[in-house]
Chains A and B, each alone.
Chain A
């Protein structure tokens, strides 16, 4: 495992932060960490990269304890709220961080990364004159400087325009192709959905769901079926398969436990003699986790 946490806890004066986090992130996967603002996402990432000291539990990153200097050389990190020395140019920032990573002859790598994040031609400008989006691009380039085995990206697209967001997604996919592990912190479901293999959802400091993205997307999903007038006994039959069935006017809302139940639901409706006028998958957010949190919004 690239990241393993065991009841990892970081609280501020006994409040906030994240509590009892148990996570395992495998090598080469893009792991999404999703939750509303203030849920504890950044606290966990900052604890994993050694910026915050845990108040409980333990963790290993790249097989080493938190903050271990040997692991740090293989980690890239794009913080959420950061700044670079504004008296430096973009190029100087890259050189400074390359020196901190002790990268020998970094010129080629620097120019390759500046090209990748779309900052070529701006590298000689002072960072103070960079827009927020440009700073975020520079941050991404710095995070990738050491060709890290593990990259933490904390809200990497928060300051980017739609084109920039697509570019970052491409970079993440490319990292995955190269076998890198990416830990993506985001409050945007759409962002996580598009690139992540597995996700964990955090709310009020605790993980409320974790697993394969496809499974979570369907967990406790609701189908809606426009059925006109349902045949007698249909609802009772559906209740045997589904978790919950509700009829409102001519719309049946059926909550299913798993994806595999959907064909069966359709079959029962058809066999009952009720012609379904329309069946729609009400796939939207990680079912139970979302509903349990009681804060259903697509973007947390």
Chain B
């Protein structure tokens, strides 16, 4: 499996898509940096008024960063198995003393390692830009550490889904399935938050909230994003972004985190199983 991890990681550097994503990232960070610089200069000096706005900018930055990472995951993993099957590469690989599940896990860890490094770069890049350009937000070590872990967990969940799709269907099919599930999660997250905001006004919005929960069950990435927000922007038990569309009125419970972990392991199991049964 180590061999597959090593070569999958190396292969990522040879994908044109990676350079496209890097270019996109640099463009994004430049524009984002320019935007927050202008905004922060115009903000009042009083911290109590500015603090929610700093938090808003950071969460918006991280939100779009998570979309770029998701894009990288889909383009690098939707064909991780299927494209090698379709091109004939896999024929020579599988007729070796290696189990098929080792190939699946090797791909997961190889792509996952690259995606994790990239996610961490983006996460700390956003935090650093904000701090360097004047955001007067103080994060504790544990906030940043746990926030970073949650941020890099999202693409790993998406990666496990992509690999499952890639193990049993074509590259295009796997890509479409992963994008649709990720889209459900995003929209579900907004719907749930809108439901929460409506319920704050005293009106019942159980349907909207339940729709969001169902979307999170189908793909728990958005729930993890909201958990990351609550980890980053909670201080002394007060969560600053509760009333924000990208925040999390109903903070994901520990049960949801457990569900997300189980979901990822289950997807990997399904990927290994589907690939073991696939005719090459």
Contacts and interface: CB of A to CB of B under 8 A. Distances in A.
Interface stretch (A95-103, A111-119, A202-210, A240-248): A95-103
Contacts of B3: 96, 99-100
B23 interface: no
A164 interface: no
A70 B92 CA distance: 17
Chain A interface size band reads 20 to 34
A227 B254 CA distance: 98
Contacts of B95: 49-51, 72, 75, 77, 79
Contacts of B98: 69, 72, 100
Nearest to B6: A99
Contact of B92 (A69, A73, A102, A139): A139
A51 B97 contact: no
Contact of B96 (A53, A70, A72, A83): A72
A84 B97 contact: no
B277 interface: yes
A79 B88 contact: yes
A96 B7 contact: yes
Interface string A80-94: 011111010000000
B30 interface: no
A70 B97 contact: yes
B94 A51 contact: yes
Nearest to A82: B88
B56 to A, nearest CB: 42
A160 interface: no
Contacts of A85: 7, 11, 89
A252 interface: no
Given A53-B279, A85-B11, A87-B11, A100 B89 contact: no
A53 B277 contact: yes
B203 interface: no
Interface in B243-280: 277, 279-280
B97 A79 contact: no
Interface in B65-123: 87-89, 91-99
Nearest to A52: B279
B83 to A, nearest CB: 11
A142 interface: yes
Interface in A122-170: 139, 142
A46 interface: yes
25 contacts: A50-B94, A51-B95, A51-B279, A53-B279, A69-B98, A69-B99, A72-B96, A73-B96, A75-B95, A77-B91, A77-B95, A79-B88, A79-B92, A82-B88, A82-B89, A83-B88, A83-B89, A85-B89, A87-B11, A97-B92, A100-B93, A100-B97, A100-B98, A101-B97, A139-B92
